[in-house]
Structure 1
Amino acid sequence: MDVLIVGGGVIGLLAASILGREGLSVGVLDKGPCGRESSWAGGGIVSPLYPWRYSSAVTALAHWSQDFYPQLGQQLLAETGVDPEVFVTGLYWLDLEDEAEALAWAAAQRRPLAPVDMAQVHAAVPPLGPGFQRAIYMAGVANVRNPRLTRALREALLRMPNVTLHESCEVRGFVRDGQRVTGVSTVEGELLADRVVLAAGAWSGELLGTLGVELPVEPVKGQMILFKCAEDFLPSMVLAKGRYAIPRRDGHVLVGSTLEHAGFDKTPTEEALESLKASAFELLPGLADAELVGHWAGLRPGSPEGIPFIGPVAGFDGLWLNCGHYRNGLVLAPASCRLLADLMLEREPIIDPAPYTPATRLG
């Protein structure tokens, strides 16, 4: 293989798609079915929850990805028949403590974020609960139906003769020839490649640790709940007090999410369920009469400032990283994977790669 990618979430699948389309032979490995960890568990808002609270490194990736998502969705639907449902609804933030900072950021970044009178908000979002005092709104913010996105990416890769998926194939460590990484060791034996990309989400730190390299990526648990409503119940995404509601086209509404440091435990808890339901009913009282159809947990790959690691690992020729996207893996995936491909193929990168470079951030 030219490239082996460890991790079959949205980052690994999209990186394989981009590199495969460039003619490279690519293998993707995942310890379970592809796309079933944090890529499946998240909400799919195509924006950081509070974009003004992040560094310019996250903003640069987010803006590129937001512009790219509509065509990615159309391309995958045309190729596979699976619609990732990139759904443009806009997003209302309610009663923000740092509203002034948000508006100043939007003015500097030229993003369409503006205050809205609450009467207008209630007219635009009829199920919104009472008691909220202020709102700002950004038009054009989309959400993607992330389980269908990963399914579409997987289907696209299965149609590419130069890409191989190794599912339910856990990677235990790396194969080395001196200081060069030449492949991975798995439960099924060794697989070799010219280059290895570590894109294993919350598990990336543990895997890199087998080489004696400390990668500050740790699991951060998040729990979500899902309701089934009428298709026109919620016309826009809403966010208040750190919790959000996301409408899907068919009437499903996601509400999330918790932030918990609980190691690799993905067990949903009754405490989180009650907390999420309370937030849901405060935001959208009508959800109290809706069917609760799901409650689950996933593990985000927490990293310093939420800035991912993208690029080669110093001292280990052939080893590359694309991991540590924290809460924004789905948002940042298109730009992150395009940047990785640009660096691997020695092309002009879409954005300055310096903020993500492992060489300056590890050790």
Structure 2
Amino acid sequence: MQSCIVIGGGIIGGLTALNLLQQGVSVTLLERQEFGRESSWAGGGIVSPLYPWRYPAAISALAYWSQGFYPQLAQELFAATGLDPEVSSTGLLWLDHAESEQALAWAQAQQQPLDQLSATQVYQRVPQLAPGFTQALWQADLGNVRNPRLLAALKARLLQFADFSLHEHTPVLGLQQANGRVCGVQSAEGEILADAVVLAAGAWSGDLLAQAGWQLPVQPVKGQMLLYKAAPGWLSTMVLYQGRYAIPRRDGHILVGSTLEYAGYDKTTTAEAAISLEASAARLLPDLAEQRPVMQWAGLRPGSTDGIPAIGAVDQLPGLWLNTGHFRNGLVLAPAACRLLVDLMLQQPPIIAPEPYAAARQLQPL
């Protein structure tokens, strides 16, 4: 394979392109809007599923590999571009969680460093917490990445390759086929041909496959977030309670999220979500109740039936490959998902067993 078209300029499309370029493949990336400004930009950047013990082994395998790789990825991007993705190992506290026994059993079986803390230990670690929490689960090695900076660094790195071409504000209108194979795309700029096409368009992936006669159960799921500003170091670790979290950044910004809304492609922010998120912020960290959020935004996750992404070849459309449907865990799973896809595309030994992610598992004819 000498050339590839990647559809989608989020973390999945961008890291797929980087892996291909590093293997000597020429890449053309098409993004319907601006690179890195959809779901990947909007998320919180926790490098873990919110409740990892609830997920199947297929998610865990991708998550473990990615967690180990993120510090190296950040260092490589920083060295190449001067832009720091800010991967920070802050640790994560799950406060008063009803599934503590299940989580601890999972951690022992998976050899994960999950501990249970008493109330005294919790407040010693995060004295800013609201009163009344009685215990917590704690994993010290979990981190977060400042995803807008990660995407900026990734874009800058891609543009350093002579055999990379980025087409922003260029919707893909359809797949180009010849001799029984997908050989390119029809875009707003005209026909573009390549040896292979990777569909990594997030929530929009199903729409393009539907035009080719196939149904992929990927749909947009809106999430809204709030941003607060505190002094650097005021909150030292991530905290999570009843599905809502606070994530500290190095400069003192604190992200609070997020909602889970099935509203089609509507990305507008709402007062109802703001009120709900502000209440969650105050329930976790009362000092935030005295502040007004400095920003509110929304993004569209690529929701899928079981959260397991489709990664691999589309046997029904030779020449087309999928890397989509990561739902809430696109940033979490991206390094492993993209490496796995490129391993398969170039017929290299895969980093993990690829069978759970086979596209045929999810595709249905229309």
Q: CA deviation at 1:228?
A: 0.6
Secondary structure at the residue paired with 2:293?
strand
Tell me which amino acid in the other structure corresponds to 1:53.
Answer: R
Q: What secondary structure, in the 3-state scheme, does the structure 2 residue paired with 1:286 have?
A: helix
> In the alignment, what sits opposite 2:252?
251
Secondary structure of the corresponding residue to residue 82 of structure 1: coil
Q: What does residue 358 of structure 2 align with?
A: 357
Paired position in structure 1 for 2:118: 117
Percent of aligned positions with the same letter in both sequences?
60
Q: Is 1:99 the counterpart of 2:100 in the alignment?
A: yes
Q: Return 5+ residue gaps in structure 1 as ranges.
A: none
CA–CA separation in structure 1 for the residues paired with 2:186 and 2:294? 39
Superposed CA deviations along residues 254-283 of structure 1, whole A, max 9, x for unmatched, are: 000000000000000000000000000110
Could you tell me how far 1:361 is from its partner in structure 2? 3.0
Whether the aligned pair in 1 keeps the contact of 2:92 and 2:139 (CA below 8 Å) is yes
Give the number of equivalent residue pairs: 363
Asked whether the 8 Å contact 1:224–1:297 carries over to 2, the reply is yes
Q: Distance in 2 between matches of 1:126 and 1:85?
A: 24
**Whole-angstrom CA distance in 1 between matches of 2:211 and 2:106:** 41
Query: What is aligned with 1:325?
Result: 326
Unaligned ranges ≥5, structure 2: none
1:13, 1:213 → 2: CA distance? 25
* TM-fit CA distance, 1:291: 4.5
Q: Say whether 1:334 aligns with 2:339.
A: no
Q: Which residue pairs with 2:228 in the alignment?
A: 227
Cα contact 2:122–2:135 (8 A) shared by 1:
no
Counterpart in 2 of 1:162?
Answer: 163
Alignment deviations for residues 201-239 of structure 1 (CA, whole Å, 9 cap, x no partner): 000011111101000000000000000100011000000
The letter for the 2-side match of 1:316 is L
Q: Is the 8 A contact 2:176 2:185 kept in 1?
A: yes
Q: Give the superposition deviation at 1:289.
A: 2.7
Q: Give secondary structure in 2 for the equivalent of 1:203.
A: helix
Shift >6 Å, 4+ stretches? none
- Partner residue, 1:22: 23
Superposed CA RMSD: 0.9
Tell me which amino acid in the other structure corresponds to 2:231.
A
Aligned residue number for residue 200 of structure 2:
199
For residues 8 and 29 of structure 2, the distance between their equivalents in structure 1, rounded to whole angstroms, comes to 7
TM-score normalised to structure 1 length: 0.99
**In 1, distance between residues paired with 2:49 and 2:153?**
23
Partners of 2:324 and 2:169 lie apart in 1 by: 20
SS at match of 2:214: coil
Corresponding position: 1:281 with 2:285: no
8 Å Cα contact 1:179/1:315 also seen in 2: no
How far does residue 305 in structure 1 lie from its aligned partner after superposition?
1.3
Corresponding position of 1:144: 145
Per-residue CA distance 1:121-180 (angstroms, 9 max, x = gap):
111111111122221100110000000001100000011101111111111111111431
Give the counterpart letter for 2:352 in structure 1.
I
* Structure 2 partner of 1:294: 295
1:130 is matched with which residue? 131
Alignment-mate amino acid for residue 246 of structure 1: I
